[in-house]
Amino acid sequence: MFTGIDTDIGQVIAVRERAEGLARMVIACNYDRASIVEGASIACAGVCLTVVGIGEAEGHTWIAFDAAAETLRLTTVGRWREGRRLNLERALRVGDELGGHIVAGHADGIATLIAREDFPDMARMAFRVPADLARFIAAKGSVALDGVSLTVNEVARDTFSVMIIPHTLKTTTLGALAAGDEVNLEVDLMARYAARLMEGR
């Protein structure tokens, strides 16, 4: 589990196809090498991946992950290339501060930025989402975009908007987004379970 409060920005340094439907991603980061073990979970741009290798190179820690076909199909992971910057968050530990909202790291799909309006102290971004996910998004509710916990501002059919503060623009990859860019979307867990319960009735 995660909180949507990212703790580092990593960079893809290698992408290797290991087998049909399986890719290995190697990401450089600023985490302490000694603090990471194989088998640990790290959210990379909002996608929970399992560490399968760790090392150091050129003063940075590198972490290797394997991504399976489902992940490559449903998220932006299949489009990652060398140089891609990624929001990173390590798994939540019991007793940690829950600063955002509960995030599973299981991206539901991809949202596309359709409009961006910059103000002196923040930015308004509007996204379009797949129709089957739109019903889980509500004004004042929570979403995770590329792993960043955000509060929904407005909703209209299959689009929604968020207001992003300067700190988030500066410390995550969201500040570099432009119209047409795609991000991993995870809807709020509570909304998903509530919808499932309603279907059961």
Catalytic residue set? 2, 41, 48, 50, 64, 106, 151
DSSP 77: G
Distances (CA, A) of 144 to 8, 77, 80, 189, 200: 16, 16, 19, 10, 26
Q: List, in order, residues 6 or more apart from 13 with CB less than 8 Å away.
A: 26, 27, 28, 62, 82
**Whether 160 contacts 102, CB under 8 Å:** no
Take residue 43 and report the two structure tokens written for it. 């959210």
Tokens 């302490």 belong to: 32
Token representation of residue 185 = 């979307």
Residues 6+ positions from 94 with CB-CB distance below 8 Å? none
Other C-beta atoms closer than 10 Å to the C-beta of 25 total 23
